[in-house]
Amino acid sequence: MIQALSLLVLVAVFVIATTTPVNMGVLAFVAAFLVGALSGMSLDDVLGSFPGDVFVLVVGITLLFGVARVNGTIDLVVAASLRLVRGRRWAIPWLMFALAAVLMSLGSVLAVGMLAPIAMPIAARYRINPLLMGMMLSHGALSAAFSPITVYGAFTSGMVARSGLDVSPLVLFAVPFALNAGFAVVLFLVLGRDLLRRGDEQVSAVDEIETAGGGGTATRTRTAVRTRVGVTPRRLLTLGGMLALLVVTGVFGVDPGVTAFVIGTAVLLVAPHRHQDSMHEVAWSAVLLVCGMLTYMAVLKENGTLALLGEGAAALGSPLLAALLLCFAVAVLSAFGSSIGTLGIALPLAIPLLELGGIGAVGFVVALGFCSTVVDVSPFSTNGIIVLAQAQVPDRQWFQRRMLAYGGLVVLVAPLLVWSAVVVPTSL
């Protein structure tokens, strides 16, 4: 009885969070307290399930990126990158793909939001297909969604670790990256072939990003992005700190959340008054969502709900068929709702299925992560909404229909692609 109630509450949390502005994490925390009490768990047991390591990681990383955004370091990186493509129109979409991937891999969940106000006007000015530019931005960010220091990577790794599964963080990052890059290549070949032909119009360095000398947020023009951003000691310090984060965590294995907290705080103390808006950049909504869902999943594991789901999966007879159906369900739900929320539901469903055997754990977890994020190209997702809002097109409804058509194609193709390319080979 309690297992059925737990599942009904889980569905209610997802539906309410998808149809209203209420944060899913807030609902998940309340659900954890109530269902935990009904399951005979003490309040201390429920609170003991709070993922403190994930909290430190997400807050620390987004704080550091908040500092970088406020003091103009992000604009400095973008401006320097734009100089590399002077005279090469075909390279601009790939530059934006790469920038979005780098920003996301460093922990910025707002990578598309940072770049779209720059990239979409450039697309209009230099006659680059706006759908190509917008989707290259989205796929670039999503390709690096499962970096160990992103919200998605932390959430998935935390869930998998708590379940006792061994999934390599490198594989979790590399497979979605390769598949998103594949989507980008196909997009470019279909929509960007004309950029390969030499024309009389070339990209020049007349576009402008101007940043206030005191380190304020960059002021971008709608029609151009000029590659003139001043180099200041604070920006160099911030950039050095971001590079140090990669080295210290990647080479020496130091906790990335703690490292980001230390580096972010150090830069804050250098100029506290100029960085006071940085706290507004911390992804508190993502913190609530991830920590709330992980806490509720711990309650479901404790009261036997996950074991019950495993028995239901066994009734399907074919583990591979069950895996394919779950991949499709994840893609459809995530296209209209929260990617992390959908993943938070899918992973608990997958873990009991994996325990039955017949499916490779690494391939299945990677597949679910990919299916839950790649559909964020949809105009109903946060990334899609930003791209649609920044597109410089005469008919926005026409552009929205094109985005919707592409999003629908991804929903259909992505589950089959990752299932056949990753799940099946790792399950043989």
> Mean pLDDT by 10-residue block, N- to C-terminus, for the chain (428 residues)?
89 84 89 95 93 84 84 83 79 93 85 86 88 96 91 84 82 95 95 74 45 39 49 90 82 82 91 83 79 85 77 72 89 82 80 78 93 90 84 87 92 95 89
- Asked whether residue 385 is assigned to any structural domain, the reply reads no
DSSP states along 358-419: SS-HHHHHHHHHHHHHHGGGSTTSHHHHHHHHH---S-HHHHHHHHHHHHHHHHHHHHHHHI
Tokens standing for residue 22: 């209420």
Name beta bridge partners: 220: 209
| Token output for 36 | 């935990």
On whether the CB atoms of residues 258 and 64 are closer than 8 A, the answer is no
Contacts of 326 (CB under 8 A, 6+ apart): 346, 349, 350, 353, 368
Question: Does 427 reside within a domain?
Answer: no
Domain extent at residue 289:
2-304
Residue 208 forms beta bridges with which residues?
226
Helix (H) or strand (E) holding 153: helix 151-162
Residue 365: what pLDDT?
93
How many Å apart are CA 124 and CA 31, to the nearest integer?
A: 47
Q: Would you state the pLDDT for residue 51?
A: 85
What is the number of alpha carbons within 13 Å of residue 44 lying toward its C-beta?
0
Say how far apart CA 123 and CA 118 lie, in whole Å: 9
**CA distances for 314 relative to 202, 349, 366, angstroms:** 59, 11, 21
Which of 105, 122, 119, 113 lies closest to 69, judged by CA?
Answer: 113
CB of 178 within 8 A of CB of 373?
Answer: no
> What phi, psi does 133 have (nearest 5°)?
-65, -45
For 5, other C-beta atoms within 10 Å of its C-beta total 15
**Position 93, amino acid:** P
User: How many H-runs (helices) and E-runs (strands) does the chain carry?
Assistant: 20, 2
Q: Which residues contact 110 (CB under 8 A, 6 or more apart)?
A: 65, 69, 283
Q: What is the token pair recorded at 315?
A: 């009734």
The phi-psi region of residue 378 (left if phi > 0; otherwise alpha if psi is between -120 and 50; otherwise beta) is beta
Residue 409 lies in a domain: no
Q: What is the phi/psi pair of residue 24, to 5°?
A: -60, -35
Residue 37 lies in a domain: yes
pTM: 0.79
Whether 28 is covered by a domain: the verdict is yes
| Amino acid present at 176 | P
- The tally of domains found in the chain comes to 1
Residue 395, domain member (yes or no) = no
Q: 70 with 215: CB under 8 angstroms?
A: yes
Which residues are CB-contacts of 414 (< 8 A; sequence separation ≥ 6)? Answer: 179, 331, 370, 371, 374, 375
- The amino acid occupying position 252 is F
Residue 268 and residue 278 in contact, taking contact as beta carbons nearer than 8 Å: yes
Structure confidence at residue 314 (pLDDT): 63
Tell me, yes or no, whether 355 lies in a domain: no
Closest CA to 80 of 296, 304, 239, 281: 239
In a domain, 114, yes or no: yes
Q: Which amino acid type is present at position 178?
A: A
